Structure 1
Amino acid sequence: MNLPLSLEFFPPKTTEGVAKLAAVRAQLYALSPEYCSVTFGAGGSTQDGTLDAVRAILAEGVAGVPHLSCIGQTRASIAERLRVYRDAGVRRIVALRGDLPSGYGMGGEFRYASDLVAFIRAETGTHFTLAVAAYPEMHPQARSPQDDMNAFVAKVQAGADVAITQYFFNADAYFRFVDELRQRGIDVPVVPGIMPITNATQMLRFSDNCGAEVPRWVRTRLQGFGDDTASIKDFGADVVAGLCQRLRDGGAPGFHFYTLNQAMATLQVCRRMGWAGSAADERR
């Protein structure tokens, strides 16, 4: 039996990008996603694009889920955004602290994601299912694993329903994180975030910046492929499918795929797992 899948996109900035993303979604709908989420740029810089993409997803008969970050925002601006989402038919939100654009300086009336979760609950009750971020390998800005765990628990206590993790390649880190939560009496579902591997250089650089550990054997194999894109993608699909298999066997409640607005890599992983897709789908 397949576990629930969800897909994440970022809002396109051009008319061509909008059309391309619509085609990508059409391919990925073969996976029957539970919902599709759309990111929210630093300081809300893409909020109109986020709303447009969510509305397009809803019009396609799939649950559209906006990300909502609170850094740099006021209570009034968040309340207005919640009203717009509610009127659009949104029933889920990914609630995040977020980052400010470079040079923006500090500002806004929220400091932590837990503040945002509490505000949404106070404003809208239980209308929205609220997802928050989790970091099995610790948030890169956290002072210690204990502080990071305390911050996550605060989000749950404020009213979060479910967590989606930062992507990782170390299943043990995920299982340890969940075990520690259960020991503290926190029983919300923790959905693994899955990053398909399409571009080795980009993925390794991003992983180094965000604190996601790439096992040495994976890193060296990827670097050894050089510019052999086909081999990188094939090897990457094997690695990520193996990770998903171990997570599924260990009791993960579902998977959230960071698609990077591409279809093929996610379809390759899911096909290896026997979920959906075909060789023809992957070549589109």
Structure 2
Amino acid sequence: MNIKILADSASDLSKDHYNEFDIEMVSLTVHLDEKDYEDGQTIYPKTVYDAMRNGKAPKTSQVSPQTFKSVFTSYAESNQPLIYLAFSSELSGTYQTAKMMEQEVKEEYPDAPIHVIDTKCASIGYGLVVLEAAKMAKAGKSVDEIIDDATRRAAHMEHIFTVDDLEYLYRGGRVSKTAAFVGTLLKIKPILHVESGKLIPLEKIRGSKKLFGRMLELMEERGGNWENQTIGISHGDDLDRAQQLADMIKERFGINQIEIEMVGSAIGAHSGPGTIALFFLNKSF
């Protein structure tokens, strides 16, 4: 029986990806103008970014317990293996909710072949892990093989990103008010990364011109084996700069396999317009 891969909307994959690789998706919730929307289903990133540019502060919440219970129950009843690769547990309660619902469903269906994995990844870094798992499922690999590869791949996925305005990270509790104010005043661009699933500030760069050069230096220091991997770039409604970074990567490393996607509504509500994020497997993969 085919193994089904489940992802959530924080993977920032497009509908084309979900359709091509037969991936199932559940949505985080975005709260905007006193209404609730399903990320990637009833609200799209452009709407969120335009609202933020106009001074609005959208909020987000995790995938609902009922959504997970419904999905898990349907796979338990049909006895079809399901692997849910989840958005980082350090950035959302979605993984914990999924684990609770997995236990609940397994009380009724003890042998249900449902597996819930915390990727500790976000955006297209998470999406690349999901895509590889879906390719393996299509190729007929076993549950254990898929879980082993996804777990290892996720642990070695580098996230190097920058935001256009520190104010958005301040609202999300990621930087202090003073740091946001001073950073904006001095035109300081932060470079951040994800370590054990958490957002960690890495460096501060003065002025945006040096930014991409430094991101490429970090890529060279941390990554390798370029011909055997796909690089991910996601952006906060700034395709031109994402494409510029992709061109620089192609020129410097001779890489052709690059996935460019917009940062989705749920993550974008915290990172803001103008975010540029780079994802690749590190040297120890």
Q: TM-score range by the shorter chain?
A: 0.3 to 0.5
**TM-score, length basis structure 2:** 0.37
Bigger RCO of structures 1 and 2 (CA < 8 A, at least 6 apart) = 2
Flag the structure with higher helix content. 1
**TM-score, length basis structure 1:** 0.38
Flag the structure with higher strand content. 2
